[in-house]
Structure 1
Amino acid sequence: MNLHPFLHRKQHELGIALNEVQQQAVLTTEGPLLLLASPGSGKTTTIIMRIGYLIEEKGIRPERIKAVTFSRASAADMKERYQAFFPNLEAVDFSTIHSLAFQVVREYLRKQCVTYELIEGEVDRPQYHKRMLLRDLYSQLNEESITDDQLEELSTYISLVKNKLLPNEQWQEVECDVTNAYEILKQYESFKQQTASHLLVDYDDMLTIAHEAFENDNDLLLKYQNQFDYILTDESQDTSRVQHAIIEKLVNNHQNLCVVADDDQSIYTWRAAEPKYLLDFQKVYPNAQILKMEQNYRSSQEIVQTANRFIKQNKNRYDKNMFTENSTHEQVQLKSFHSDREQIEYVIEELQKAKGYQNIALLYRNNSSSIVLADALNEAGIPFYMKDSDHRFFNHWVVQDILNFMRLAYDPTRMDIFEKVFSKFHGYLSKYQVEQARRVSTNQSVFEKLITYGQLKDFQLKKFKHYQSVYQKMHEYSPKEVIRQIRKELGYERVVKDMCKRLGFNEEGLMETLNLLEVIAEKADDMVSFAKRLQHLETLMKESKFNKHQDAVTLSTFHSAKGLEFPTVFMVDLIQGVIPARSDIEAYKEGDKEPMEEAVRLFYVGMTRAETRLELLTYEKKFNAKVQPSKLYFDVNRIVNPSKQKPKPEVKKKQHNPNAIQSEEEVSVGLKVKHRVFGEGEIVDHMSDYIMVQFEGDMKELALKTCVEFGLIEILDQSV
């Protein structure tokens, strides 16, 4: 196509040469447009050029254009890029959807003579902060304190309900592992609306009230519809149903909407993002055009080709073919280690070889990975920057329990410390028994007081005499051994597991917290230095934000890394149960494929952060327990290292098992099978020519065609 004068001028002024699809995106201004932007495809440049075209060429006043982004950081970045490209043009309104909604809410409630009070962010009355209200409601209904993890899950549940615009009668249908979550939500909503003239409003309410305003107040809707002639939304794969509904109403008259998104990078369905909305875009906007920006300007040929083939295993997506004209570099590296410790040692060695750190990122699925990485990097003297670091680990109740058990070793007379953890000893102590011991004013240890004055039953007497003997020897142990004594000899681990069964806590996560503490304890000489080590790590991680523009390695979750790019990327801890998460695997077995597809998208996001060097790392043992490499690691491995086709040997006669599976169509996820060599197992994944089967203590990847041809697997009688 001939280059438009505007594009020709900008190419001369700014040195920006757009490809054919980018040019179409800039020049297609009327009516609805869905712009599917693959990773590294220059979407921000295209968006800014489109806005500049509207103003410079079409004569649209800047205040008639509204650009909505997913986050304040994105809005600031776009504003900065716009000013750099078009320094002589007036400002365009770049904001988040929440900011737009808040404007609507203020007008709507003012018209109704209703006052409101924000209860998220910085608030006027701390006792009415959303987190405080939820803590209080949980305590009232469950008669115990809520953990930080439970509070996070409860908040996510509430946001999900609101952002999906679910009616009240459907709230209970949404799964949440927090005890009485539905009842807490009902009481929370009721509390916020105690009086008709004054509302307590959280961030999710901004969206639902704005939507309600546009539904009920036609004059207000008309005002905002008339305010903007062109609306653009970025990162729309992360947009929720209520956010889409607000935008739909805004553009209803002119339909001049440009939606920029990538369905392959939708990784926030747990926050109510609606990737299906993009797939149904032409149902909502029948006259919509769809453009695919498939050229990647970021990564090498090898990375782009591998990532493109990898994402194609997902079925619920637009058919796209990401490509690049960048040069070749090196193949994607896949490395499997014997243990998580060897993985860390390898990463440290590779970083020490690097000439600089700021071009390197270590990406992981869970924040728990960052603890071990930060510990190892600090020991090696390697500076790091942690994006969106999560410091909840250091305040976790399990961490505080362990520290209190240790404090008691230094002064066994501290009844105040003992009262914090007495229920965590496996001794079934009652508050009454502890109170009897506390009343004694002698300088005896808490154990001596309990044994003498606590009115213990015989089995308790035996237990606490044992616990006393453990404490008497505790200073002889290393900090790691002390933690193991607490876990095993004091019965702490058993108590925690019982709590998980009773209260629905995540046992795997709590055991991992204990294991992480043991790893950190290996670097300490005694319990005091261990406590100081924890404090030092917490401070180090908090202060790492000041290393953002320094020569430091970037640590980030896959989620937080979206939008970033680095010459070198290491994706670490790629094991089953982490990515994909255990819940994703369980959902897949039950026939729900969306969580597994999101895990694939998340993995794809991690892969596409790399420019020239991408390494995927896995291992067979974590904290000395056997684990399985991620199914997604195997998927990439099949792409990078395809099995060499060997000539088939002549077979005189197949050894046929009459009970064996006769065709590939008989295979399905969840099927219980028996293998001639490996024994009984369950099919946990089925991808094209391969199946993943979980046998007792091991997972195997089997060539399906071979299994059928040679009668290697048979279906177990599932009625038995």
Structure 2
Amino acid sequence: MDVTTILNPLNAAQREAVTSTDKHLLVLAGAGSGKTRVLVHRIAWLIQIENHSPYSILAVTFTNKAAKEMRARLEDMLGSSVSGMWVGTFHGLAHRLLKMHWQDAGLPEHFQILDSDDQLRLVKRVYQALGIDDSKWPYRQAQGFINKQKDEGLRSKNLSPAEDPYQRIMLQIYVAYEEACARSGMVDFGELLLRAHELWLNKPELLAHYQQRFGQILVDEFQDTNAIQYAWVRLLAGQTVRLTAVGDDDQSIYGWRGAKVENILNFNRDYPETATVRLEQNYRSTKNILSAANAVISRNTDRLGKSLWTEELEGEPISLYSSFNEHDEARFIAECLNDWVKTGGLRSEAAILYRSNAQSRVLEEALLRSQIPYRIYGGQKFYERQEIRNALAYLRLVINRNDDAAFERAVNTPTRGIGDKTVQALRQLARDKSITMWAAADKAVMEKRFSSRASSAVQSFMILVHRLDEDATGLALPEQVDSTILGSGLIDFHRQEKGDRGQSRVENLQELVVACRSFEPEDKEQPSLPQFLDQAALDAGDRQADEDEDAVQLMTLHSSKGLEFPLVFLAGMEENLFPHRMSAEDPSRLEEERRLAYVGITRAMKKLYLTFAESRQQYGTESYNSVSRFVRDIPSEHIEEVRLGRQVARPTSYAKKTASRFSDQGTDTGLALGQRVSHKIFGEGVILNFEGNGANARIQVNFSHAGSKWLVQSYAKLAPI
């Protein structure tokens, strides 16, 4: 392979990145700019032109799929197997290292890797050994705590005892968990990286060996690295190894799971001898779509900066639809999809993206009514989600104590000290006596078949179900469901889960109440709850499309990263939904929300729809939110308003209205969204929002110590920092 073969398929910026001879290289690869091609061609260049041995190159990716694709492309280019090369994920490479040096790492030769479910089971055993009440401290809360510490490179011995009860209990669990893993020779995913990092710290001669072996390290998706991954790479790179980091700070959207955008933002500081190459030519989207994406992301302040461009045509304008409510929004999307198919498009070419998992319910219902096959990408249908099935189990048990499946699901969720042995004993008693599990539980309590603790727990559960029934009597369907969900303890249980997972589950439970508000029973003379449960079961039974069936893709914005579709719908473009209400007043979280919007927009290749609802049943109540600031950021010339019947107007009345009301707000104040300012009383803060213009403009500022404040421009006298 010669120089021409390697460089001919590349544009000028890609060639600059591939041929760089600098000590270190940072490649800022915009969405759709061909970063995988650059990585593969750079490795080929190092091997074929710079004559580096394939075994002196370490290439790190974030997913097994990406690693497999990289190996396949390399073998195709080089014409030979790369099985001996170290190409893989962080966890895969760390595992390979530990298997080779298990003794130095202090592990048994055949150590066992725990997946997430195995890890949770071990956490449960630790709870039992310590006698910790899992109803007060949920298992998943401890699992999340342990994983977070490991991602930060912290063992239990690195954590100081705290007065805070939560920290104290979690530390106690972490200590016992580490001891259990050590006794059994078990390693979880976080441990792989942490142990590999410690191996090099504790064995400098081994570190020196690998630093001498790997003269070239290439890391993909660098913006997604967490603390321990970055420390692992930095330690291996040392002072001599050449490091190539490829990533996009504008697509750093995983801060909630430990990714640190600072790793890529500070790369030039940590590695002074670095050349930076920006890949800005986009091969995916039209000019209108890219202009919108650039306008949105340019509002962020903490970024290295780049602007996507394309040689593609202007393309269709971005369509903006203002719906009455979420049902109107879903109907509109379904109609657009049917039109797409009628004009020759494939359903698999279309994707519906949303910020919150709870949004999928109404969208799924509209697609089912329109008989449009769909598939939830990387997730489950609404009525198949764990928290929803748990809530439905309580509701089924309230109206029918003889529902054994509901009994088994609800009896220890949330956990209330009724273990597997007790449930198995109830199951056996029910079989032996040919009675239901509820009747078996009643019999076991009356006859004192269990220990006092187990008997008390079972009796408390039965009393709870009776109380839920009594509390719901006489209430309308939504209030019945809301009362049961709250009384069951499911909301509090999931609120205790840290991070986005717990919040998403709470929102899904609230969405179940919303579903009841729009439910129309077939028989008005009969109770609504049994009819609603029947309909939920039927909806759950409607299968998703088969893998080979032409189907629309539904997914969260987070799941969409790395994918592309000719037709994309971004649903729910409203304040408090997107950006999420929990992020709106936190500058760093708001910047990540904006990056998420950028990711969503750049998934679209040919056509992009933005939809929002004037009113929406949200978090169990009807809300009226303004259109998302991310829509306001887009210049009006790139947007057309889609009206009822999908008639359009350009330039749009809505776009003009939003341009005057929102986009230009604050432009004559001398200040900008995201700007840091100082106030003589409240101190330093960040501008979050504007209302109006000129001296009478109101400015929302999130102050470091005083919190969020709305101030009038003429009186506030804010000083830019």
When the two structures are superposed, what TM-score results if normalisation uses the length of structure 2?
0.74
Contact 1:520 1:533 in 2 (8 A): no
| CA 132–327 in structure 1, closer or farther in 2 if over 3 Å, else same | same
User: Secondary structure of the residue that 1:260 maps to in structure 2?
Assistant: strand
Contact 1:134 1:188 in 2 (8 A): no
In 1: Cα distance, 2:113 partner to 2:467 partner: 50
Name the residue aligned to 1:485: 480
Note if 1:164 corresponds to 2:159. Answer: no
Note if 1:291 corresponds to 2:286. Answer: no
* Structure 2: unaligned runs, 5 residues or longer: 415-437, 447-458, 640-654, 661-667, 678-684, 700-710, 717-721
Offset at 1:286? 1.2
Note if 1:617 corresponds to 2:611. Answer: yes
Name the residue aligned to 1:571: 570
Name the residue aligned to 2:268: 282
Name the residue aligned to 2:630: 632
Note if 1:349 corresponds to 2:345. Answer: no
Contact 2:399 2:469 in 1 (8 A): no
In 1: Cα distance, 2:9 partner to 2:672 partner: 53
Q: Within 5 Å, which residues of 2 pair with 1:526-537?
A: 530-531=532-533, 533-535=535-537, 537=539
Offset at 1:283? 1.9
Amino acid at match of 1:159: N
The counterpart of 1:244, out of the listed 218, 230, 239, is 230
| CA 53–631 in structure 1, closer or farther in 2 if over 3 Å, else same | same
How big is each residue's C-alpha offset from its partner over 1:608-649, in whole Å with a ceiling of 9 and x where there is no partner? Answer: 1111111111112222602313332333366846758999xx
Contact 2:698 2:712 in 1 (8 A): yes
Contact 1:571 1:616 in 2 (8 A): yes
In 2: Cα distance, 1:103 partner to 1:326 partner: 44
The counterpart of 2:399, out of the listed 406, 409, 425, is 409
Offset at 1:77? 1.8
Q: Within 5 Å, which residues of 2 pair with 1:418-497?
A: 438=442, 482-487=477-482, 493=486
Amino acid at match of 1:62: P
In 1: Cα distance, 2:396 partner to 2:235 partner: 60
Offset at 1:308? 0.9
In 2: Cα distance, 1:274 partner to 1:572 partner: 28
Task: Provide the identity percentage.
Answer: 25
The counterpart of 2:99, out of the listed 101, 106, 109, is 106
| CA 236–195 in structure 1, closer or farther in 2 if over 3 Å, else same | closer
| CA 415–327 in structure 1, closer or farther in 2 if over 3 Å, else same | closer
Contact 2:153 2:227 in 1 (8 A): yes
Name the residue aligned to 2:423: none
Q: Within 5 Å, which residues of 2 pair with 1:372-391?
A: 372-390=362-380
Contact 2:572 2:611 in 1 (8 A): yes
| CA 93–337 in structure 1, closer or farther in 2 if over 3 Å, else same | same
How many matched pairs?
619
Contact 2:672 2:687 in 1 (8 A): no
In 2: Cα distance, 1:704 partner to 1:142 partner: 59
User: Secondary structure of the residue that 1:109 maps to in structure 2?
Assistant: coil
How big is each residue's C-alpha offset from its partner over 1:408-465, in whole Å with a ceiling of 9 and x where there is no partner? Answer: 43568999959958999xxxxxxxxx999946999xxxxxxxxxxxx9xxxx9xx989
Amino acid at match of 1:583: M
Q: Within 5 Å, which residues of 2 pair with 1:31-430?
A: 31-88=23-80, 90-91=82-83, 92-111=85-104, 114-115=107-108, 117-118=111-112, 120-121=114-115, 129-135=118-124, 143-145=133-135, 154-166=142-154, 180=166, 183-194=169-180, 199-355=185-341, 356-390=346-380, 394=384, 396-397=386-387, 399-410=389-400, 417=407
| CA 230–351 in structure 1, closer or farther in 2 if over 3 Å, else same | same
In 2: Cα distance, 1:621 partner to 1:633 partner: 17
| CA 494–291 in structure 1, closer or farther in 2 if over 3 Å, else same | same
Contact 1:159 1:271 in 2 (8 A): no
Name the residue aligned to 1:681: none
Offset at 1:95? 0.3
Offset at 1:70? 0.8
In 1: Cα distance, 2:672 partner to 2:220 partner: 44
Offset at 1:318? 0.5
Offset at 1:331? 1.7
Amino acid at match of 1:306: A
User: Secondary structure of the residue that 2:256 maps to in structure 1?
Assistant: helix
Amino acid at match of 1:163: D
In 2: Cα distance, 1:386 partner to 1:437 partner: 38
In 2: Cα distance, 1:251 partner to 1:29 partner: 16
Amino acid at match of 1:625: E
When the two structures are superposed, what TM-score results if normalisation uses the length of structure 1?
0.74
In 1: Cα distance, 2:381 partner to 2:370 partner: 21
In 1: Cα distance, 2:480 partner to 2:695 partner: 51
User: Secondary structure of the residue that 2:361 maps to in structure 1?
Assistant: helix
In 2: Cα distance, 1:297 partner to 1:33 partner: 23
The counterpart of 1:509, out of the listed 484, 507, 516, is 507
In 2: Cα distance, 1:98 partner to 1:193 partner: 22
How big is each residue's C-alpha offset from its partner over 1:539-562, in whole Å with a ceiling of 9 and x where there is no partner? Answer: 656x54x42x54211111111111
Contact 1:306 1:639 in 2 (8 A): no
Contact 2:67 2:88 in 1 (8 A): yes
In 1: Cα distance, 2:370 partner to 2:115 partner: 37
Contact 2:222 2:263 in 1 (8 A): no
Offset at 1:397? 4.9
**Cα RMSD over matched residues?**
4.7
